[in-house]
Amino acid sequence: MNGARASQSAMTVNSANVTDPVTGDFAINLPLEAIKSAQVLTNPYAPEYGKFTGGVTAVETRSGADKFKVDLQSFFPRFRRRGGKWTGVEAFTPRLTASGPIKKNKLWFMQSFEYRFVRTPVYSLPPDKRDTGLESFDSVTQIDWDINPSNHLTSTFSLFPEKLRYVGLNTFNPEEVTPNYKQRGFFWAVNEAPHDEQ
């Protein structure tokens, strides 16, 4: 972004910085349906964005509304074929989002889930020992409250555990010498702002 690597850029979610302080990479995964907007700021010199040399990706999450809504996406798996045989699931990435009122014209919720199971082949290896694996579960819960005609409170909570199998698998590093990787993370933010800033 702006001529810099991803680790030299920054990311915010609802104005909160979610950049990993160690690696500089984006430290949070969000389900697609939970995102209201994503804006790339190439030259934001305000100190609120923290350290970066590239640009800032500013993400705003979706809030609930007075009408209840459920959205289901990508619920069918893609099957895997290796060595001329069908051998299980290659990818399964369902997403579920629900939103609506807790109290009409006053209090709303939005809940979004995304599960990802993806096997990626390395074609230079034998058919039964060529897949790297990714398994993750991303969840976002948001509550929006109109405190009064002038002020709006938003609370956002996200969980994003992830497991990787056979990291770095390639021609010279087969399954027996590649590691597995597991991480867990959460994000919680509370934001109060005037209505004209929502």
**Which of 9-13, 143-147, 192-196 ranks highest by mean pLDDT?**
143-147
Position with higher pLDDT, 25 vs 31: 31
Q: Which pLDDT band, with edges at 50, 70 and 90, does 195 fall under?
A: low
Tell me the pLDDT tens digit for each residue of 46-94.
655 656 666 788 889 998 889 999 999 999 999 988 878 888 899 999 9
Q: How far apart are CA 165 and CA 178, in angstroms?
A: 8
Half-sphere exposure of residue 38: CA atoms within 13 angstroms, side-chain side: 10
Q: How far apart are CA 86 and CA 44, in angstroms?
A: 50
The answer, as to whether pTM is greater than 0.85, is no
Q: How far apart are CA 52 and CA 126, in angstroms?
A: 42
Residue 34 backbone phi and psi in degrees, to 5: -80, -10
Q: How far apart are CA 7 and CA 19, in angstroms?
A: 9
Task: Give me the pLDDT at residue 78, please.
Answer: 93
Pairing between β-strand 181-183 and β-strand 131-146 as defined by DSSP bridges: unpaired
H or E element, residue 141: strand 131-146
Q: Mean pLDDT throughout 29-38?
A: 89
